[in-house]
Amino acid sequence: MRHVSLAVLVLLIFTISTLWVRSAIETDARLQAQLKAAEFERGRLLKLQLDEETGIRGYAATGARVFLQPYREALPLFEPSARSLESLLTALSIGVKPLERERAINRMWRSEVASPILQRWRGDDRSSLELTGKSLVDDFRDNDRQLVDELNAKSNQAGDATARIITRVLTVGVLFGVLVVVVVALYWSTQRRLVGRLEERNVAFERERLAAELLQSAFVRRELPAFPGASFAAAYLPAREEARVGGDWYDAYQLSDERVLFSIGDVAGHGLEAAVVMSRVRQSIAAVGTYERDPAVVLARANDTLLLQDSRMVTATCGFVDVATGTVSFANAGHPPMLLLAPDRTVERLSTPGPPLGATDRPTYTSALCRLVPNSLLVLYTDGLIEHGRDAVAGEEQLAASVQAIDVNCKDPAGDILRAILPDSRALDDVAILTIAFHHDVTAEVPERCA
């Protein structure tokens, strides 16, 4: 759009200058034509005066009327010629005073030289009349020269004016051209700088997004432990807006014996920073979990780690499951409760009180125990699964109903739950799900309810 208006402006200026120069040249041509006509008319007027004088002089010298021929022919032409010259001079704004004087001289010459000679050509005072005539004609010539001078001056002046106009137009044109070049150059360089900056920002943004995704995919693709009597499954759905990669995670590590350390959590916020915090908390839980047996202590250590560097709040649930016995110990830090689907299709919420990680430097976390009986399913998830409708109570009810309908022995309970809750796979927030299905036939022990 800006290019078009610039082009139109240039075209407009070009057209105006062209028209200006053309009109200057035309004015000049008209002036030159008028000057030429005036020059011609002036010459004619002089010639007519001389013709009249020649005729009278011939007659005076010879007395033969035949010599009066030029006088007679010139006589009626003088005044029309004078009038024509007068209008030309007026049009050229040249003073008509010399012309007026020429007319007066002509009149005087006729009355004081021509008439007396015509009436009595053999008069005694013929020589004095001739003298008067000569002086009058000289006078006429003087005025004529004056006219010649003025016409020449006018001609030069007009040429100068035209040259001046053309020079001015050319100067303006060149200056404008330079201006346009400068403006266009400035515009282009600014444009290029802006585009460059925008690209830089896009690249930085893209880089952060890729880094955050990379951090997340590092755990999403991790192999989950597998046992004959217990199977782990997980599902992960990133936020709908790709740039809002979040800080959700899940983990399940097999420890030396038949114990598995599991955790799930959610860092408040999105982006690279959230992903980095998530990574740190996960590593802390995984590291402490290898030697510490109390989940509440594992969370307390993760809280310490988080408070060392970050002010972010993280919710998490972590625990240990003994895949031989089905015993689960767990602790919770502000994370949504786990769900336990029993073989009789009842769904129970399992949680312990505790603030989110990073909220306080003196948190109190508590651990609890529960026992998985064969054909039961433990479901851990992040808040995206129950808050997608912005109503946590309704979300929890919907999730409980979906879990109730899950086949414990199916291949991918986590995926089934995700598809049941978010069938179009679109989420405002990240969603992570971890399920632990217990198939083990523990007939030796009496199943207990959860602590």
Q: Distance (Å, rounded) from C-alpha 408 to C-alpha 326?
A: 15
Nearer to another protein, 150 or 383 (CB): 383
The residues, ordered by sequence, that sit 6+ positions from 398 with a Cβ below 8 Å of its Cβ are 386, 389, 421
Q: Distance (Å, rounded) from C-alpha 26 to C-alpha 18?
A: 12
Query: If we measure between CA atoms, which residue out of 276, 280, 320 comes closest to residue 297?
Result: 320
- Residue 35, token pair as written in the block: 């000057």
Exactly one of 160, 200, 242, 391 binds another protein (CB under 8 A); that residue is 391
Between 235 and 254, how does the x/- string for binding to another protein read (CB under 8 A)? ---------x----------
Numbers of helices and strands, H then E, in the chain: 9, 10
Query: If we measure between CA atoms, which residue out of 202, 352, 219, 340 comes closest to residue 282?
Result: 219
Nearer to another protein, 68 or 338 (CB): 338
Exactly one of 13, 148, 166, 268 binds another protein (CB under 8 A); that residue is 268
Q: Distance (Å, rounded) from C-alpha 48 to C-alpha 26?
A: 33
Which region among 16-24, 113-121, 385-393, 404-412 touches another protein (by CB under 8 A)?
Answer: 385-393
Nearer to another protein, 140 or 250 (CB): 250
Nearer to another protein, 387 or 416 (CB): 387
Nearer to another protein, 57 or 270 (CB): 270
Nearer to another protein, 41 or 266 (CB): 266
> Between β-strands 367-371 and 230-237, what pairing exists: parallel, antiparallel or unpaired?
unpaired
Which region among 97-105, 126-134, 351-359, 419-427 touches another protein (by CB under 8 A)?
Answer: 351-359
The answer to whether the beta carbons of residues 96 and 86 sit under 8 Å apart is yes
248 pairs with which residues across the strands?
266
270 near another protein, judged by CB under 8 A: yes
Q: How many CA atoms lie within 13 A of 223 on its CB side?
A: 4
Tell me the closest approach of the beta carbon of residue 277 to another protein, in angstroms. Answer: 11
Nearer to another protein, 209 or 244 (CB): 244
Site for another protein in 49-108 (CB under 8 A): none
Nearer to another protein, 238 or 358 (CB): 358
431 near another protein, judged by CB under 8 A: no
Q: Measuring CA to CA, how many Å separate 69 from each of 41, 57, 72, 241? A: 22, 11, 5, 113
263 pairs with which residues across the strands?
251, 318
Reading phi first (left if > 0) and then psi (alpha if -120 to 50, else beta), residue 314 is in beta
Query: Residue 238, Cβ neighbours under 10 Å: how many?
Result: 22
Number of residues in contact with another protein, rule: CB under 8 A? 34
312 near another protein, judged by CB under 8 A: yes
Element housing 84 (H / E): helix 69-91
Nearer to another protein, 54 or 351 (CB): 351
Tell me the closest approach of the beta carbon of residue 427 to another protein, in angstroms. Answer: 13
Which region among 16-24, 125-133, 278-286, 358-366 touches another protein (by CB under 8 A)?
Answer: 358-366
Between 173 and 212, how does the x/- string for binding to another protein read (CB under 8 A)? ----------------------------------------
| Structure-token match 């010539």, residue found | 141
Exactly one of 5, 93, 119, 311 binds another protein (CB under 8 A); that residue is 311
392 near another protein, judged by CB under 8 A: yes
Return the SS3 of 441: coil
Tell me the closest approach of the beta carbon of residue 249 to another protein, in angstroms. Answer: 14
Q: Distance (Å, rounded) from C-alpha 283 to C-alpha 251?
A: 10
Exactly one of 163, 353, 407, 409 binds another protein (CB under 8 A); that residue is 353
Footprint of another protein (CB under 8 A): 244, 266, 268-270, 311-313, 315, 332-337, 351, 353-356, 358-360, 363-364, 383, 387, 390-393, 396, 428-429
